[in-house]
Structure 1
Amino acid sequence: MGVETAGAQSLADHDDVLIARRAHYAAFHGDVAPPEGYGVVVGNCQAESLRLVISSEALPAVRVPAVHELTTEDTRRLHRLIAGAAFLVVQPIRDDYRGMPLGSAQLRRSLPASARTVTVPAIRFAGLHPFQAVLRLPDFPEDPPLVAYHDVRTVARAAGIDLAASLPPAAVRAIADASRAELRRREGLGLDVAASDLLDPVVEDLARTVNHPGNALFLPLGERIVAALGAPGRVVDPGRPILASVRAPLEDWVVDAWDLGTAPRPDWVVGAEVVPAEVVREAHTAYYAERPALLAAVVDRMAPLIRTWSTAR
């Protein structure tokens, strides 16, 4: 294929992606009318999963992009959509997020006076993946290759830090407790719906990664949101795993710590593809080696987890 042909194909593929994305968010873009009595769920990647489980004929919710994907024009479009909404479900978002009026309070100001609002937490739970962190580093916006997560074992090895190969059950449970405690702290800042108690008992379906909960959390949390809205809606089970495009390894020592009764999963699953954990480790090791300043920042942010692993030897 020649350069010009390849370039034209690339542009065509890009256009196809934009067309598909616009169709996916048709009501958001105004290509179809939103249903009567519609609401909006706004937040990170978890927001669409919450929309899936609360949206019904009695409580319709319009699909919108995750907040970190929004452009300036998207932001204006979101405010126009919210101005006609009957309800807003929103995670805590700081004012002027990414330089745009996307803060929770800013979004609420666009609502009609009669609209209902429910604030819900953004959830991170490390009990099933006590080696993992997802970091937002302003000076280093690029994600690691293959999967956008940092593994404390790979980070430590790249930094010359000696860690245990695994954690004992008590340490796994302590990390889970810390996740619950942090979520309770954030819930105590005035959120309408709590989720921290839903992180117990620990089951395999509770989380796919440290920041991607599973159906075992989304369905009961959806019930609480519907109740908080005071609407005649109901929770909708989509009949498939939610937020499951990326699944982190499930280590055998984690399975043992929680007595999960399920088989360990040593590798990543990304989309429909199994990505061997060793391939991810090698790619991340090379990534850190080429970016020593980033590695230092990651080590600094992961210092509490590194200490936990260090003392578990």
Structure 2
Amino acid sequence: MAAAHPDPRTRHFGNFYGLEGLDGDESTDPVVLVVGNCQAESLRLMLDGGGLRTVRMPPVHELVAADLPHLDRWLARAALLVTQPIRDDYHGLPIGSAQLTERLGRGTPVLRVPVIRFAGLYPAHAIVRSPADPSLVPPVVAYHDLRVLAEAAGLRSRARLDPPAVRAIAEHSLEQLRSREDRHGTVVVSDLFATPSFAQMRTLNHPGNPIWTALAARVRAASGLPAHTVDPGRPLLDAVHAPREAAVIDAWGFDEPERPHWIVDGHVVETGAVREAHLDWYARHPDAVRAGLTRHAHALTVLSLV
């Protein structure tokens, strides 16, 4: 049962915790549970309505043991589970996608969707996890610039970022996305990036509304549900926008200006400020530098940084 005076997090996910809404209404619309990282909430918003009810729930990396009874309550009620691939015992909890499937009601269908990452618009950016603490991220923006990472490692300071390099990194990124789709049997989204645009991705892992509209339509079609298009009334995953570089604009033939800075919560953040903050962070976390060099060896090579 929810606390008498819930904290802000509990209020934010009020339906999930039984504070309001679906538990007490008379709706017979089937409930869809969408489980995953921050991308899951955007997909949930685009699936809501049109004969479906959805539940806003914490992203999977924020779930704690006390959340499990609430999760089980919704799994028992769900008419459809949409989940990103999540490994068993994620964060020490039985919330892997296979484990969630086992706890569903008998015969409840499950649809997997991929974690969407596409580097073809931000080819020098990467995600790096520190082996010492995978939850650590650098300050200002959580994305690593491989040019700054290489500088921290004492490697070449000038990258080869030109249209051929952009397209090579884009194709490698798509190969990885296709591999994830095939390996986990997910709904396919990789083909959407055959003709890239900045509207598709705000950062390398924050898709824009056109991607969510298309993915929601494909989820509905794959589940045998009637078509329904949602206008959320706002841009989704809009807090951070990565710089738009000239080489990317040239590579894809965009008719758009270069934007050399970040936009964070609506404010301009210069790349120089990000570089300085990240170099200081790398000096304190050399294990993250080593991990980045290993994980992103291909992109570093394409960019002529190694």
TM-score, normalised to structure 2's length? 0.91
Using the TM superposition, give the Cα deviation of residue 38 of structure 1 relative to its aligned residue in structure 2, in angstroms.
1.3
Distance, in Å, in 2 between the alignment partners of 1:33 and 1:270 is 33
Residues 182 and 293 of structure 1, relative CA distance in 2, 3 Å threshold: closer
List runs of 5+ in structure 1 lacking aligned partners: 1-17
How do 1:169-180 residues align onto structure 2 when only pairs under 5 Å count? 169-180=163-174
Residue 259 of structure 1 pairs with residue 253 of structure 2: yes
Letter in 1 for 2:34: V
Higher share of residues assigned helix? 1
More deviation in 278-287 or 251-260? Answer: 251-260
Question: Which of the residues 227, 230, 252 maps onto 2:224?
Answer: 230
Superposition deviation, residue 26 in structure 1: 0.8
Distance 1:138 1:75, change over 3 A: farther
Deviation at 1:305, TM superposition (A): 1.6
CA distance in 2, matches of 1:108, 1:198: 28
Q: Does 1:21 align with 2:9?
A: yes
**Structure 1 position 111 matched with structure 2 position 122:** no
Which whole-Å CA distance do the structure 2 matches of 1:41 and 1:233 have between them?
Answer: 18
Aligned position for 1:4: none
- Deviation of 1:69 (Å): 0.9
Name 1:93's counterpart in structure 2. Answer: 86
Equivalent residue runs for 1:60-71 within 5 Å: 60-71=53-64
Aligned partner of 1:56 in structure 2 is 49
In 1: Cα distance, 2:78 partner to 2:284 partner: 48
Q: Aligned match of 2:297 in 293, 299, 303?
A: 303
| Secondary structure of 1:222 counterpart | helix
Matched, 1:126 2:119: yes
Once structures 1 and 2 are overlaid, which stretch shifts more, 52-61 or 86-95? 52-61
Given residue 29 of structure 1, which amino acid in structure 2 is its aligned partner? Y
Residue 137 of structure 2 aligns to a residue whose secondary structure is coil
Quote how far apart the aligned CAs of 1:304 are: 1.8
Report how many aligned residue pairs link the two structures. 295
- Which residue of structure 2 aligns with residue 270 of structure 1? 264
From 137, 143, 146, give the equivalent of 1:152. 146
In structure 2, which of residues 15, 18, 31 is the aligned counterpart of residue 30 of structure 1?
18
CA distance in 2, matches of 1:177, 1:57: 36
Of 63-72 and 74-83, deviating more is: 74-83
Contact 2:122 2:203 in 1 (8 A): yes
Percent of pairs with identical residues = 46
CA RMSD of aligned residues (A): 1.8
Q: Which amino acid aligns with 1:85?
A: A
1:137 and 1:290, CA in 2 relative to 1: closer, same or farther beyond 3 A? closer
The alpha carbon displacement at 1:311 in A equals 7.2
Matching of residues 189-208 of structure 1 within 5 Å: 189-208=183-202
* Separation in structure 2 between the aligned mates of residue 115 and residue 68 of structure 1, nearest angstrom: 24
1:259 Cα deviation after fit: 1.4
- Paired letter, 1:140: D
TM-score, with structure 1 as normaliser: 0.89
| Equivalent position amino acid for 1:234 in 2 | H
- Name the amino acid aligned to 2:302: T
User: How big is the shift at 1:57?
Assistant: 4.3
